[in-house]
Structure formats: structure tokens, C-alpha cells
A and B are shown apart, each in its own frame.
Chain A
């Protein structure tokens, strides 16, 4: 079945550690995104990538890093520089239709907690 897989579902990080969240899609989508969601709030864009080996910062990129070495994969590293990393992280991917319309598909999310 085609879809987006995020792992792990739950992740605990100690202060000062870097952790990497995985996002894999087999939808053959070009664009991939990482969002952060805090309780009771909407989604804030961290990074996005339109093609392999290219990515752009979103609104809250500080303390995060990404790579896009393969079309299927867009891992997010939460570095020790991110002072408040406890949140729900969602990965999404999208494809343009022939008329330039885009719908995003989401993974099930990773809940990161700093302990």
C-alpha cells in the first residue's frame, strides 16, 4: 500500500541529545514537509523539500536540520540547539497534478518528549 511512514511513534530525548525522526514515502511524491504541532495549535512549517538534494527552511527551522538524499526519505534531526523540542511532529508529502493542484498526505506523526 502506498503511504507515508513516520518512525518512531514516540521518542524520548535527554537534554543535550540530538535525535532523528524518520519519514519515508512510497508515493513517488517530489515534495516533502516537516511540521511541528504544539498542544491545541495548528501546524508550523519547519523545513520542506521540493526535489532531491534540495530543501528550504520553513518558519521555525532553528534547532532542526534535514537531508533529502533520496526521493523517498526526508529525515528530521532535532538538535540540542532546539530549546523546546517537546511536540508532535508531522511529515507530509505532495505531488502536483497536471493543473498544478497539490494535496498533501500525512504520516501518523512522532511525539517527541524531552526527559
Chain B
């Protein structure tokens, strides 16, 4: 059965801390892995990863895919209260089936 597992399920940190969120998958016909941030309603796109070992970076956020380990990490450095959100990982299968993990709830305390 194809599945996407995120860890931890929830995390509380203080402003300025660095966090690492994990996403692992068991799929056939993997195409790409996506990270989203969800604050209130619609998730907003962060990264798309298709190639192993190539880091994608946007400000304080970065992500990398490891196809050998079937996993990805999302790093957030110097966290701010505005980073508090649910972080969702999704994997695209061949045929455009897009399946999400359960998400990691991040709370950044000031």
C-alpha cells in the first residue's frame, strides 16, 4: 500500500530554534515530493523535489530528497512565530495521484 508518513506529528520550539521535519514514503512509481505550509485554509506551496541530493532553499527554509532512503527533510532555521503552521508533505505517483502525509503541527513560542 502506498503511504506517506511524517514525523514528528507535533513540535513546540522557541523562536530562534532550528527544526527538522521528516517525510518518508513507500510508493511505486514515484514522481515527485511536495512540501506545503498550511496556516488557516488552503495549503501554500513551498518546494517540489524530484532529484535526490539537490537542496532547495527559500529564505530560512530548505529541503532535500533522498530517493535511496525514500525520505525528505524540511529544515527551518531561526524560527519565528509566523512559522507556526501545519507542514504537509505530499508524494505524486505516476498518473498524478497526489497523496499527503498526516502533517507536522509546528508551534513556535515567542
Contact = CB atoms under 8 A, between A and B. Distances in A.
Interface in A54-105: 56, 58-59, 88, 90, 92, 94, 96, 99-105
A108 B42 contact: yes
Interface in A1-59: 30-31, 33, 35, 40-45, 48, 50, 56, 58-59
Given A100-B31, A107-B42, A92 B98 contact: yes
Interface string B34-57: 100000011101001010000000
Contacts of A42: 6, 86, 88, 100-103
Interface stretch (B11-19, B61-69, B73-81, B89-97): B89-97
A103 B6 contact: no
A101 B50 contact: yes
A109 B42 contact: yes
A88 B43 CA distance: 12
Given A40-B105, A104-B90, A45 B41 contact: no
Given A102-B34, A102-B98, 13 more contacts: A40-B86, A41-B102, A42-B6, A42-B100, A42-B103, A56-B97, A94-B98, A101-B31, A102-B96, A104-B34, A104-B98, A108-B41, A108-B42
A41 B96 contact: no
A106 B102 contact: no
Nearest to B104: A42
A62 B35 CA distance: 27
Contacts of A102: 31-32, 34, 48, 92, 96, 98
Contact of B97 (A30, A48, A100): A48
Main SS of chain B's interface residues? strand
Given A102-B31, A103-B48, A104-B34, A33 B98 contact: yes
A43 B50 CA distance: 21
B96 A94 contact: yes
